[in-house]
Amino acid sequence: MMLRTRDTAAWDGGASPGGASIPCMDAPGHPREALFAALGCGADGLDHGSAARALARYGRNRLRFHRPRSPFVMLAREFLAMFPLLLMAASVFALLADRLSPGQGYALIGGALAVVVVLNALVSFAQNYRVEQVMLSFLDYIPRTVAVVRDGRRVLIDAEEVVPGDALLVQEGDRFCADGVLLESNGLLVDESVLSGESEPVAKCALEATVKTACLVRSGATVLRGSARVLVTRTGRSTSLGGISALSQQVRRDLTPMQRELKRFVRWITLLAFAIGVVFFAIGVVLGNPFWVNLVFAIGIIVANVPEGLLPTVTLALTQASVRMARQNAVIKDIMAVETLGSTTVICVDKTGTLTRNALHVETLDTSGAPQGTALRIMALANEALAVRGASHGRELRFTGDPIDCALAEFAQTNSGFEALRAGYEPVAITPFDAETKCMSAVWRRADGSLYLATKGAPEVILERCCAIHGFDGACALSADAREHLRAQADRYAGQGLRVIALADSLPGAAGERPPLVFAALVAMVDPPRPEVPAAVAACHSAGIRVLVMSGDKGETVSYIARQLGIVCNPQVVDGEALAMMSHEALVEALRTEELVFARIAPEQKLAIVDALKAMGEVVAMTGDGVNDAPALRRADIGIAMGARGTDVAKEAADIILLDDNFATIVGAIEQGRTVYENIRKFITYILTSNVPEILPFIAYVLLPLPLPMSVIQILSVDLVTDMLPAIGLGNEPPEADVMQRPPRPREDHLVDAHTVLRSYCFIGLIESALAFTVFFVVLDAGGWHWGQGAAVEDLLQRQAAGAFLAMVVFCQIGNVMACRTSRQSALSGLGRFNAWIVGGIVFEVLFIVTITHLPVLQSLFSTATLAPGVWAMIAAAPCVVFGLEELRKWIARRHARPTTTVDTGTIN
């Protein structure tokens, strides 16, 4: 039989390796005795023999948030994606063609394709391996050594050796390494936000005759104040921390949008290549060509259709975007996640620490019109915060300890000076905050020897003990009406989501056991929004991205922060209890309300919200830091974990880790994600264009009586040499001016759509082919070739014509890369924008083509020859022709396109 409470139901279950069951507290006798009997221990824990037997029974207290991956397995996986497999298949076909028809350059192209696949795998592996090392550096959330009682003595042991039945000793700053029940508690205040999502610390008390949630502690929580002795009841995978970690690992993860698009593109280009190859193999058979000649020709068509340079270009674009994001404090665990951010339509964000500073701040000091001096003095004296001088030049005073004490101390320091307010007072006694009394008091001795009591606590408790109130003329009696007015004012602050406490001190000469108090002030505090978040939220709205707040905090606080940040104007709060009553359909319907925020929700409910949003067709980004966020982080399209305060479970479940825990960093990463998607589409358009002048020579060679205009080695030189650097340059283009003023791209919008295909294959591709064939025939005609001569032509003239065809394609691609720098707007403005990759690529390809057409040792390899100056003049004009015609097409498209207004701006695309 087990203990079940509303907050600890996840602890139920039978004993298993790594955990123990909690006995039923409703059994006859005191619950302590029931626990001791079930766990075979006493108030002083276990002896070494019992601990050894428990360790053998339950296993080590270990949680694996991230299983280290073998570098060899990581490298092997880089070869198993669709695109590497396609290129490897093309390599095998090329090597087969070389066996059938040696000396045609197929062996070189087959080897080059294999090298491309290997180099791409190494680049991608290096990025993923770097992220793997970052992940391993995070695995320190569970403490390494802890204090326990063994054989009646306090000893330090490895946290992995803690077993059910151990008496665990904790103090301020410690982190619980197991679940347990408090046997002793001395003013214990615990931060459970990583588990519950609630930002407010929780006061704990020892187990007595009845079981309360306040006597239970969970693995992963942190001690903010006080000390305690804990009877360990669950360890390892059986703890609440382990349970949620296991849940997150069971959640199915979908392919990213980029993975889906690349898979679709590879399928499309493979079918196209094989279809064209089969068609022209059949044409060759009809024309009576030998079988092996037709097969070699079909292989050449297939290889020409495969954009060999696309794989390394995509990998480098995503890797470089990952590097840029890392400079902005966003670590990308999987480079495919870079683009997913760009397609995000909804960001589900936790409040504490992401939207806010995760530190309480005094929002209002309400003295009811009286001077603030007395209230500031109480703030400094009724305070257990530890003041520490910073190491900087100014040696600024900083405070550590209870969040409320720190907030009060910082406010006192700012307004009068913390140490100055304490000057002339000597500490006598402190009564720590207690969950029962709901207040904290400190007695001080003045310089004249009299005692002075300063206290703070819940407004209803403090007001009940006050008989007077401070005013301009000293203390005066506190009337019933004034008392009621102060209660109402405290309720109003609380209704706004603020945390409210009251300050009071003792009457002169009255500092005994429970002296009458004089009311001084109400203090309203809040975890304030980060200053950069409002602008980031506005940028999300401008980009058509919805920000949905999901928090474990109370509804009033969530509503207040959401309004302050401009996320919503009139929030409709749905709490965990209301959410639990909703069906999936009802939740989907509720999510259509733009003003919705969620409060007091459980981990599995975050998962349900993400599932509902995905069912609505949304691309969901989920932020989180706690263990309770891990399942939803894994289920979202893109999981974003907090690096500074996030748990290892959250970091393992996420795709991106924010090192600065800043929501504004997410917006910057979204801009990078949108940019990389646009840039990948640009260089796909650029790379696909050259496929047309690479394929048509083979088709013309079969169907028409003319020499082969372009050899396979020349195709390879375009795909893997001259096109590579400009394509990488397109992948590194800066964001276009309106990238964050457009709505997210629709899910059905494909990376390679009809527009891309038409532009590449039916417009620019045909223009490049026409120009290349023109210069090809000009060279042939100048050399004495005539139409009826067919393929019979002397070697030098053949190499000159083929070299001119190749040079024309390369120069046409110069105009194409400049035109591809914008998707919709004119590219004229971008001509003056320096891009080192593009400029360097253009210089390189010009030098390359000039070298291989004039250097004898390379002329034979690339089937080229020296070209006449008149031919070079024609070739040199090609970039302007291609660029000009594409500019004309864009202009006509803009004139005839239906005007669409970008989100929240007056800009017309």
Cα within 13 Å of Cα(372), Cβ side: 12
SS3 501: strand
- DSSP assignments along 213-241, one per residue: GGGEE-TT-EEEEEEEEEEEEE-GGGSHH
Cα(273)–Cα(83) distance, integer angstroms: 14
Q: Give bridge partners of residue 365 from the DSSP assignment.
A: 523
- 765-782 vs 663-689: helix crossing angle, rounded to 10: 30
Task: Identify whether 7 is a catalytic site residue.
Answer: no
Q: Per residue in 600-614, is it b (16+ CB within 10 Å) or e — as a string?
A: bbbbebbbbbbbbbb
CA 864, distance to chain mean position in Å, is 50
Cα(259)–Cα(280) distance, integer angstroms: 32
CA 361, distance to chain mean position in Å, is 28
Residue carrying the six token digits 């660029």: 883
- DSSP assignments along 265-301, one per residue: HHHHHHHHHHHHHHHHHHHHHHTT--HHHHHHHHHHH
Residue from 474, 482, 435 nearest 213 by CA:
435
Cα within 13 Å of Cα(458), Cβ side: 9
Q: Of the residues 166, 191, 334, 350, which is catalytic? A: 350
Angstrom CA distances, 543 to 206, 351, 526, 670, 679, stand at 51, 21, 29, 10, 18
Cα(498)–Cα(38) distance, integer angstroms: 44
Cα(81)–Cα(481) distance, integer angstroms: 75
Cα(38)–Cα(31) distance, integer angstroms: 11
Cα(841)–Cα(600) distance, integer angstroms: 56
Residue carrying the six token digits 């600065």: 660
Helix/strand number for the chain, H first, E second: 33, 25
- The contacts of residue 109 (CB under 8 Å, 6+ apart) are 91, 94, 303, 712, 713, 715, 716
Q: Alpha-carbon dihedral of residues 20, 21, 27, 28, nearest 10 degrees?
A: 0
Residue from 307, 172, 272, 276 nearest 228 by CA:
172
- 663-689 vs 533-542: helix crossing angle, rounded to 10: 40
**Cβ proximity of 760 and 689 under 8 Å:** yes
Q: Which of the 8 DSSP states describes residue 328?
A: T
| E strands, 604-745, in order | 620-624, 638-642, 656-658
Task: Reduce the secondary structure of 404-450 to three states and give it as a string.
Answer: HHHHHHHHHHHHCCHHHHHCCCEEEEEECCCCCCCEEEEEEECCCCC
Cα(366)–Cα(369) distance, integer angstroms: 8
Residues in the chain: 909
Q: Which of the 8 DSSP states describes residue 886?
A: H
Cα(57)–Cα(17) distance, integer angstroms: 7
Given its phi and psi angles, is residue 220 left (phi above 0), alpha (psi -120 to 50 degrees) or beta? left
Q: Among all residues, which ones are annotated catalytic?
A: 350
